[in-house]
Chain A
Amino acid sequence: VQLLESGGGLVQPGGSLRLSCAASGLTFSNYGMSWVRQAAGRGLEWVSAISGGGSTYDADSVKGRFTISRDNSKNMLYLQMNSLRVEDTAVYYCAKEYRDTAMGNFDYWGQGTLVTVSS
């Protein structure tokens, strides 16, 4: 299993960014997926999760601003981030659940992509 994130970069406060995660080596639709972020020198923070069938869950800190989605035909996971704030600056990891659930059982992780929100 490999997870490869892309789409990070520098964006101004209030701007938008779309992260992508390309998954390989698995039957993608069979597994729940999440985005987890980590600000520099800080701990892990769960952001959003999506089941294989498309049910979604979001942390309160991103509700109404971030949207998680997936394209099972392309083995792709996405995170659309709108109304970005300075405090959203972090490395964003794509993580695979062990089963088609949202439980925090992440058996595979990507290498992360850095999002910097700054003017």
Chain B
Amino acid sequence: QSVVTQPPSASGTPGQRVTISCSGSRSNIGNNFVYWYQQLPATAPKLLIFRNYERPSGVPDRFSGSKSGTSASLAISGLRSEDEADYYCATWDDNLSGVVFGGGTKLTVL
């Protein structure tokens, strides 16, 4: 059971906007940056969002991140079939002195 919580699943139709939440506490999300990863089937994770809302070069601006208090969100607009993947949030936890990942959200494009 992770200290950072994500919904296990999310879905949307092509072109829609979907949001994935990541909920924690002051010791993790509240005090530290949040990172988002996309994992396509049978591949290594890929950094999607860093420092709460910044995008690495090459990541489409359809992907956006935000953080408020002890929660963070990943939004995907203009949903495409290739966005079907598992998405994970991650952050540092001051109490655990370690990195914590959310449990992951499986996104289905209907």
Binding site for B on A (CB under 8 A): 34, 36, 43-46, 49, 57-60, 93, 98, 102-107, 109-112
Contacts and interface: CB of A to CB of B under 8 A. Distances in A.
A106 B90 CA distance: 10
A110 B72 CA distance: 27
Contact of B33 (A103, A107, A110): A103
Interface stretch (B9-17, B63-71, B94-102): B94-102
Contact of A103 (B32, B45, B56, B88): B32
Contacts of A98: 50
Contacts of A109: 44-46
A44 B92 contact: no
A46 B99 contact: yes
B44 A107 contact: no
A49 B98 contact: yes
Nearest to B92: A103
Contacts of B2: 43
20 contacts: A34-B99, A44-B104, A45-B101, A46-B101, A57-B97, A57-B98, A59-B96, A59-B98, A103-B32, A103-B91, A104-B33, A104-B35, A104-B99, A104-B100, A104-B101, A106-B45, A107-B50, A109-B44, A111-B44, A112-B44
